[in-house]
């Protein structure tokens, strides 16, 4: 989408069907966590490809943190898959950095307490700092409870460096940072957290462009502020129940054509569907 242009947003759709060895492991089918890893890596790869053909300055958003999530990754095959995808993911981030792309991850309704944890450290004595686990005098307090008291509509906070296990992986120009932004209206603050890499955090002009872009994008959505392009992407990518059923029917028809009797619904699912129609 070109800011200031009357042209509608253009969409780029890329689909990939996984089957056979691509979804099989020595322990069975791949898990949702592995599939999510591949999707995140592919999204960043496609983003870099599209960015290489766009005008500068260019701002890119992705839904959620920039850091490749590994919370549900298990040992063995999943860990190996994560490490492979992480290497590819960092390579795509480096491409965006080399092109000077202003890239960011947008976190709607953030629940983190990253700034609050920093304040907690200042409240502890030297003895308490040595304790494991450390005391949490502000446990349960989120950053938004604190920061929304200071940010007017359209304003953003200072930029903070993200201190976590990711600091060992995302280094140099890829080091992760974040800031909060109030995309609400006067008297009704709505805070979002925005993750950015170091190459954006260290350039005031890039930060200004990103700040203005987020305010503009959220303003398009009116009473429910959210970046318009992310909303548009969700609309395009959403798979409806009708589409899901169409694919299932196509598979069943092909099995019948080949002389295979496809399994129908389980008795449990059949009963559920019948109950929903009543």
**Cβ 232 vs Cβ 11: under 8 Å:** yes
* Least confident piece of the model among 22-26, 46-50, 202-206, 269-273: 269-273
Contacts of 68 (CB under 8 A, 6+ apart): 37, 40, 41, 82, 85, 86, 89
Q: What is the pLDDT of residues 56-111, one digit of tens each?
A: 899 998 999 998 876 655 566 567 777 888 888 899 999 999 999 999 999 999 99
Element (H, E) at 188: none
Contacts of 30 (CB under 8 A, 6+ apart): 18, 23, 24, 81
Domain ranges of the chain: 20-238
Residue 27 has pLDDT above 80, yes or no: no
**Residue 80: per-residue pLDDT:** 75
* Least confident piece of the model among 16-30, 33-47, 113-127, 186-200: 16-30
Q: What is the pLDDT of residues 171-203, one digit of tens each?
A: 999 999 999 999 999 989 999 999 999 999 999
C-alpha angle with apex 164: 160 to 166, nearest 5 degrees?
A: 105
Could you give the CA distance from residue 226 to residue 49 in angstroms, rounded to a whole number?
25
* Least confident piece of the model among 154-163, 222-231, 259-268: 259-268
3-state secondary structure of 42: helix
| Comparison of pLDDT for 239 and 63, the residue scoring more | 63
Pairing label, strands 160-161, 102-108: unpaired
C-alpha angle with apex 76: 75 to 82, nearest 5 degrees?
A: 75
pTM of the predicted structure, to 2 decimals: 0.84
Contacts of 95 (CB under 8 A, 6+ apart): 48, 52
**Residue 116: per-residue pLDDT:** 93
Could you give the CA distance from residue 218 to residue 57 in angstroms, rounded to a whole number?
19
**Residue 18: per-residue pLDDT:** 84
| Comparison of pLDDT for 76 and 26, the residue scoring more | 26
**Residue 17: per-residue pLDDT:** 82
Q: For residues 264-270, give the mean pLDDT.
A: 68
Give the model's confidence band at 278: pLDDT under 50 very low, under 70 low, under 90 confident, else very high.
low
**Residue 73: per-residue pLDDT:** 58
**Residue 276: per-residue pLDDT:** 58
């Amino acid at each position: 989408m070109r800011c200031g242009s009357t042209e509608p947003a253009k969409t780029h759709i890329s689909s990939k069907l996984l089957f056979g060895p691509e979804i099989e492991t020595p322990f069975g089918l791949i898990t949702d966590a592995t599939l999510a890893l591949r999707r995140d890596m592919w999204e960043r790869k496609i983003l870099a490809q599209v960015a290489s053909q766009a005008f500068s300055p260019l701002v890119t958003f992705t839904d959620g943190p920039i850091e490749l999530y590994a919370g549900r990754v298990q040992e063995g095959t999943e860990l190996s898959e994560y490490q492979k995808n992480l290497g590819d993911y960092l390579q795509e981030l480096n491409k965006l950095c080399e092109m000077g792309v202003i890239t960011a991850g947008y976190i709607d309704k953030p629940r983190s307490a990253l700034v609050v944890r920093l304040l907690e450290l200042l409240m502890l004595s030297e003895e308490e700092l040595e304790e494991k686990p450390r005391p949490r005098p502000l446990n349960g307090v989120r950053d938004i409870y604190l920061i929304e008291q200071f940010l007017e509509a359209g304003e953003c906070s200072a930029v903070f460096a993200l201190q976590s296990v990711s600091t060992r992986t995302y280094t140099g120009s890829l080091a992760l940072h974040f800031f909060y932004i109030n995309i609400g209206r006067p008297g009704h603050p709505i805070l979002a957290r925005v993750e950015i890499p170091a190459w954006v955090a260290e350039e005031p002009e890039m930060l200004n462009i990103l700040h203005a872009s987020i305010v503009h994008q959220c303003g398009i959505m009116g009473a429910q502020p959210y970046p318009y392009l992310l909303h548009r992407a969700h609309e395009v990518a959403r798979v409806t129940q009708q589409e899901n059923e169409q694919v299932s029917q196509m598979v069943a028809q092909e099995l019948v054509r080949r002389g295979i009797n496809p399994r129908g619904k389980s008795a449990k699912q059949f009963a559920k569907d019948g109950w929903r129609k009543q």
